[in-house]
Amino acid sequence: MPLGERPGDKSESRYCGVVTEFSDDMPNVLAFNLTHGSFDFVVATLMDPAYRPSLMQKNGGASSVLPFAGSDLVLSPAQWSSHVVGKISSWIDLDSEDEILRSDSEITLKQEIAWASHLSLQACLLPSPKGKTCANYARCVNQILQGLQSMQLWLRIPLVKTDNYMVSVNSDDLDDSWETWNSFRLLCEHHSQLSVVLDVSSSLPSTNSLGRWFGESVRAAIFCTDSFLTNPRGYPCLSKRHQKLVSGFFNHSMQIVLSGQSVHSLTKMNSDIAANNNENNVDGVQKHPLRPYLDYVGFLYQRMDPLPEQERFELGYRDFLQSPLQPLMDNLEAQTYETFEKDTTKYIQYQRAIAKALQDRVPDEKSSTVTTVLMVVGAGRGPLVRASLQAAEETGRRLKVYAVEKNPNAVVTLHSLVKLEGWENIVSIISSDMRHWDAPEKADILVSELLGSFGDNELSPECLDGAQKFLKEDGISIPSSYTSFIHPVTASKLYNDVKAHKDVAHFETAYVVKLHNIARLAPPQPVFTFTHPNRSIDKSNSRYTKLKFEIPGDTGSAMVHGFAGYFDSILYKEVHLGIEPSTSTPNMFSWFPIFFPLRTPICLRPGSSLEVHFWRCCSPTKVWYEWGVASPSSSSIHNSNGRSYWVGL
């Protein structure tokens, strides 16, 4: 059964597995571990560990039936698929110096995976690479992956890394198991069906080192019983750091798998059980020895905070790539307007900013005689018009509003809204592109919501530069400025999703995405800043910046799959709005971050720095970004001349 109920969580992390030994009686294995042990699935060895192809041939038994754990008929197809993960024989060593062992390993690996595919298993657990090299192992696995249908291969990797910086910078050092994983997945060409299962020990590397794995394709974590501590009552428990790590695994949809024998002194536990109606036996069957460990994992799961309502709403968008809007070329649909209009936090911030601007513009003693001219440019279906009028009512100021909107369909809704609310004498609706409208008078305040995930990526600078001609010299623009930010991230899933398109164009496109399974390798840094109104002589909105990110020395090596982008804006004075992680506006969902992928991921060595160059390029008809890495190795310049991704003017 699931570990428990956590509102909003429907991920696989609710289910816990157990590693079992070889048995030719799979129905009994499932009955003992699932029915009596309450585990959800078993990681089961499929073939007798004593089997070696070379011995079979010597004994003249090459044609004999292979020693699998029973036939496929002993369980239903649904049971095999739902409750069994195949465990490939742990003795396999495809990089051994022993030619016979190497040959036996390759034959057996292919036989076991073929059998697992025949059973329609969802996944197979591959043993950890044995030595410093894994080239032949990876070659064989890559061959298998080419013909694999839907089954996943999970590579078992121990979660170890030295915390000695001077040791970790040594290129020959393999105390960082991430290096083994990285070498293996590079040899397998980042195949999307190759994932990681982490073997967690009693000691953990640094927090930064652990953080790398949340951007990798980790499917599960194996906790051996000897990594548990013992609480005063004799029950198993985990250290605070291990507990925090388990919560991180749960939050990233990674499953927990238990392995090993019970290593705790269960005298006290057994006396508790005996005192509770001899619960140690269920229908004459001994209680599972790892049940206390499972109960503890369930306790950790159940005590986690429920997912907030906003997170539940965004679950379906996690790590899902979306193309950014083309606000000038395309007219938004009603459903898109409706989604954005539900973001009450955003409009509360706008209302606060407008109220402060009105108070600064008109002193209290003139509030009943002076009328402020406010223009909402890009009015959509009217949420900023409503926020402006509510700010005027709140501050007791008189207001005259022009609502400028280019989408004729939204203009229809605006007319209906004005009539419904009785705003005819206050609001004038203008059906026009703000850049081409000839205003009858100058505005005191110019309000817009043209910001994209990267601040300027929906052409707010170009639109507001065109609209500021009808703003008074001392007029106020809301927002008054905005800055974009980026930082390098490990994002294995996003990289594989882009790679699946098998073309350059998708690697040169910026995507809007609800980032989840990523590792943030360094704090965000500012990229481009725009200020409004723009009174400078040079009105060019082209930009170029060079950024250098320092990766903490205790992180270890890491892979950069691309850059996550954000924005922060100042609406007016101290009222701000943004999604940059360190200053993000709480409970706001109008913007997901933006993701700039790299065609070839960059591997960073411990303590190294990453130099990246970003350009914002403009022509009379379009705006686009170009980006590239200069150090520690050079990438190509992505999206040269906007050949793959651009925003039309």
CA–CA separation, 460 vs 455, rounded Å? 8
Tell me: is residue 405 an annotated ligand-binding position. Answer: yes
CA–CA separation, 108 vs 95, rounded Å? 14
Beta partners for residue 427, in sequence order: 401
In this structure, the number of other CB atoms found within 10 A of the CB of residue 27 comes to: 12
Nearest to 204 by CA among 240, 167, 174, 237: 240
What's the token pair of residue 467?
Answer: 């609209």
Tell me: is residue 544 an annotated ligand-binding position. Answer: no
**393 has catalytic annotation:** no
Task: Check the CA dihedral 552-558-562-564 and report its sign.
Answer: negative
Q: Any idea which residue has 């150090």 for tokens?
A: 631
CA–CA separation, 450 vs 378, rounded Å? 7
Ordered DSSP codes for 621-633: SEEEEEEEEEESS
Nearest to 517 by CA among 251, 151, 169, 160: 251
* DSSP letter (8 states) at residue 32: I
Tell me: is residue 434 an annotated ligand-binding position. Answer: yes
Instruction: State the Cα torsion 146-152-158-159 to the nearest 10°.
Output: 110
Question: What is the SS3 string spanning 49-92?
Answer: CCCCHHHHHHCCCCCCCCCECCCHHHCCHHHHHHHEEEECCCCC
| Beta-sheet strands, E only, within 110-261 | 123-126, 152-158, 194-200, 218-224, 229-230, 236-237, 255-259
Is residue 439 within 8 Å of 402, Cβ to Cβ?
A: yes
Q: Report the run of H or E that residue 538 belongs to, with start and end.
A: none
In this structure, the number of other CB atoms found within 10 A of the CB of residue 253 comes to: 17
CA–CA separation, 486 vs 594, rounded Å? 9
- Our measurement of the distance from residue 380's CA atom to the centroid of its chain's CA atoms, rounded to an integer in Å, reads 31
Is residue 324 within 8 Å of 511, Cβ to Cβ?
A: yes
Tell me: is residue 456 an annotated ligand-binding position. Answer: no
Is residue 222 within 8 Å of 156, Cβ to Cβ?
A: yes
DSSP, collapsed to helix, strand or coil, labels residue 502 as coil
CA–CA separation, 385 vs 594, rounded Å? 28
Tell me: is residue 347 an annotated ligand-binding position. Answer: yes
CA–CA separation, 122 vs 79, rounded Å? 11
Out of 112, 458, 462, 580, which one is annotated catalytic?
458
DSSP, collapsed to helix, strand or coil, labels residue 408 as helix
Q: Tell me the backbone φ, ψ of residue 634, rounded to 5 degrees.
A: -90, 135
Q: At CA 371, angle to CA 365 and CA 374, rounded to 5? A: 125
CA–CA separation, 494 vs 60, rounded Å? 50
Helix pair 408-421, 383-395: axis angle to 10 deg = 30
**449 has catalytic annotation:** yes
What's the token pair of residue 156?
Answer: 């078992």
Out of 106, 216, 449, 580, which one is annotated catalytic?
449
Task: Check the CA dihedral 187-508-516-334 and report its sign.
Answer: negative
In this structure, the number of other CB atoms found within 10 A of the CB of residue 541 comes to: 18
Beta partners for residue 18, in sequence order: 42, 258
CA–CA separation, 24 vs 543, rounded Å? 67
Tell me: is residue 346 an annotated ligand-binding position. Answer: yes
- What positions carry a catalytic annotation? 449, 458
Binding site residue list: 337, 346-347, 405, 433-434
Annotated binding-site positions for S-adenosyl-L-methionine: 337, 346-347, 405, 433-434
